A and B are shown apart, each in its own frame.
Chain A
Amino acid sequence: MAILMSTVEIASALVWLERTFPDLCLRIELPEPTHEKRACHALRIAKGNSTQRPAVLIIAGVHAREWGGPDIVVNFVVDLLKAYRAGKGLRYGAKSFEAGEIRWILETLSLVVFPCVNPDGVEFSHKRSAYWRKNRNPKSFDGNPDSIGVDINRNYDFLWDFRRYFHPEALKNTSLASDDPKLVTFHGLSAFSEPETRNVRWLMDALPRLSLFLDLHSYSGSVFHSWGDDQDQSSDPEKNFRNPAYDGLRGVKDDGYCEYLSPPDKAICQSVAHDVASAMRAVRQRPYKAEPGYNLYATSGTSDDYAFSRHLCLPGRSKVFAYTLEFNFASDAPGDEPFIIAGDPAILDSTMRDVIPGLMALCLAASLTGCLEPQRLACAEQPTRRFGVDPATSQVRYVTGSGAQHAPALPDSHTNPAARDLAKLLFAFDVACTIKSREGEAVRASILQQIEKIAAAARKQHL
């Protein structure tokens, strides 16, 4: 039975992984130690030279009291590497992954994990106050022990200055963020004021082909996708977090402002989240669901919105589809303290079996983001796209607002050309389903025609 790892053991486990799998693992010391001078480490997992590969970044141990996150991530890596080395598949309850899928992850992606972002807070939660959430920054200490620390997941540079960006009504819910150091959502003295958030940003900067990001939390049984500041919409690109005309209006449900998410991006956001939630549900039918982050409550300065917003704000950054996974569920039974219940070895064991398949599914879903296609590495936002099928080459292409032509994502690892073309077309069809106009109908008809052509040719060749 698994026993919750201490912060020392989390660090030792990473050393062991690098020593045991030297050809597959590289331990990375992050540039900034914590306020209590703890060194922080991440682990890069890949077979062969991974510098040019699409990257997936998974972080955990952000909110100190959400026990089990680091254990899930470390055991995920252990399972992945053991299976790869043995050339075997992995099974968790009713969910299994074939050896080929494990190989695909190791040989196609650069997977980076940062299992314990906030070791000071985790240590304090393990030994002193179990419900501690923040880090242990003493800068705002005023004699009240609650005034120590910053909520790391309100300290990223995404609408950080919440009083300026959000509606006064939204400010009344302190889950959004707070400038009162005594509260659990204290957002710090400035964006990226904390070494923990700067370490995460450093990792994002160090991974130029970062495509997927996941921040592991507990406990609402959800996989949250963009956006978290407000409800999303796909009809008015002007309504976006960069537009000062909407400052002071964000964060209120069913009002005039919703955050823009282009139809293709929304399709990808949803399908990746759906894959992750489905994989977790498949283990033993726990009701994990995919939903927009705003469904929990409006937030400012969170990691997932920051990660997804980077390609819109910082030139040349890759588009990162970003998620917050909240594992486990509320219980109203006395003694089932949802945040820290993973301290119970039996619960920790079953939680790890539930959640690791979600992390596997996230990696496998990298193909859905189009990150395997070279020209999409550093894409600018393209709110208006027109799709079409080139009759000469049977290639599905889209034209962006700037007039540049692109082929859609190459989302799969199929080796058979017909299977590859079909996968591309099916993906394009999925995206085209989000276009509601007559143009969408024409594109869908054209894609279906191409699918029929390829299917007919394949039938001739193989039957």
Chain B
Amino acid sequence: MVKETRIGRRTPGKAHKIIQNRTYRIFVHLPPGKTLRELSEFPLDHCCMPHHRDEKTGAQRLMAYAKGAHVEAMRTAGHKIEVLADADKEGKRLQKLISKKDRFHGGKSGPSGVGTLF
């Protein structure tokens, strides 16, 4: 028997403890025939995020950001919401990696570029 790898075992809808005022990255699953209009009452942030539409079934999957309170409200309203990650937690982790000082000392030095000269 092939042992399932961690990567291949991503579990849709894995139970995240939802905290009301935290931001989550979610998938909104829209069944065939339903459109984003169904969600217009919720402040869903899905700008610059691509939508996936299954051409065969017409079902849509939309990545978005939403506060915990809205995740719960959407679920209560009967929408299928899959929580992918605690976006706030990821935000804090990545913010720590940003430069905290001026490495270029007001213009005495600068970035080195990334291309290879030939």
Does the CB pair A343–B118 fall under 8 Å? no
The residue that B102 contacts in the complex, of A12, A89, A172, A352, with Cβ under 8 A, is: A12
Q: Does A13 lie within 8 Å of B90, measured CB to CB?
A: no
Task: Mark contacts of B69-112 with chain A using CB atoms, 8 A cut-off: 1 yes-contact digit, 0 otherwise.
Answer: 00000000000000011011011101101111111111111111
Interfacial chain A residues near B100, Cβ < 8 Å: 6
A 1-42 to B, binary, CB cutoff 8 A, 1 in contact else 0: 011111011001111111110000000000000000000000
**A89: contacting residue among B95, B104, B117, CB under 8 A:** B117
Spot the interface stretch: A179-187, A191-199, A235-243, A431-439: A179-187
> Contact: A9 with B87, CB < 8 Å?
no
CB pair A83–B91 under 8 Å, yes or no, is: no
Specify which of A8, A17, A96 lies most central, judged by the most chain B CB atoms within 10 Å of its CB.
A8
Query: Do A220 and B98 have beta carbons less than 8 Å apart?
Result: no
CA–CA, A78 and B110, complex, Å: 9
A430 at interface, CB cutoff 8 A: no
Q: Can you name the residue of chain B whose Cβ is closest to the Cβ of A295?
A: B50
Q: Are A4 and B97 in contact (CB under 8 A)?
A: yes
A160 to chain B, nearest CB (A): 17
User: Separation in Å of the A7 CB from the closest CB of chain B?
Assistant: 10
Among A9, A90, A130, A339, contact of B118 (Cβ-Cβ < 8 Å): A90
The distance from the CB of A99 to the nearest CB of chain B, in whole angstroms, is: 9
Q: Which B residues touch A335, using CB under 8 A? A: 85, 90
A229 interface contact, C-beta 8 A: no
Interface residue? B36 (CB, 8 A): yes
Contact yes or no, A337 B10, CB < 8 A: no
Q: Quick one: closest A residue to B25, CB to CB?
A: A337
CB-nearest residue of chain B to A130 = B91
Chain B positions 17 through 59: 1 when the CB is less than 8 Å from some CB of chain A, otherwise 0 = 0000001010100000000110010011111111100000000
**Residues of chain B contacted by A88 (CB below 8 angstroms):** 117-118
* Chain B residue at smallest Cβ distance from A175: B47
Question: Could you tell me the distance between the alpha carbons of A341 and B93 in the complex, rounded to whole angstroms?
Answer: 10
Contact of B113 among A82, A183, A345 (CB under 8 A): A82
Partner pick for B97 among A14, A330, A343, A352, CB 8 A cutoff: A343
Given contacts A12-B107, A78-B111, A175-B47, contact A337 B85 (CB under 8 A): yes
Contact B84 A172 (CB under 8 A): no
Q: Given A173-B36, A344-B94, are A79 and B108 also a contact pair (CB < 8 Å)?
A: no
Complex CA–CA separation, A6 to B10 (angstroms): 34
Does A16 contact B40, Cβ atoms closer than 8 Å? no
Q: Is the CB of A337 within 8 A of B94?
A: yes
Indicate whether A246 reaches chain B with its CB closer than 8 angstroms: no
Contact B95–A126 (Cβ < 8 Å)? yes
A79 to B88, CA, bound (A): 34
Interface centre among B10, B102, B108 (most CB of A within 10 A): B102
CB contact between A127 and one of B95, B107, B111, B116 (< 8 Å): that residue:
B95
Return the chain A residue nearest B47 by Cβ. Answer: A175
Contacts of B40 in A (CB 8 A): 172-174
Residue B114 interfacial (CB < 8 Å):
yes
Could you tell me if A172 and B47 are in contact, using CB atoms closer than 8 angstroms? no
- Please determine whether B10 and A333 come into contact, CB atoms closer than 8 angstroms: yes
Q: Is residue A442 within 8 Å, beta carbon to beta carbon, of the partner chain?
A: no
Using Cβ atoms and an 8 Å threshold, which residues of chain A touch B101?
Answer: 6
Q: Is the CB of A133 closer than 8 A to any CB of chain B? A: yes
List residues of chain A with CB within 8 A of the CB of B113: 75, 78-79, 82
A79 to B55, CA, bound (A): 42
A198 to B115: give the CA distance in the assembly, Å: 33
Supplied contacts A16-B109, A63-B48, A297-B51, 7 more A-B pairs, CB within 8 Å: A6-B102, A13-B111, A14-B107, A66-B48, A90-B117, A130-B95, A131-B23
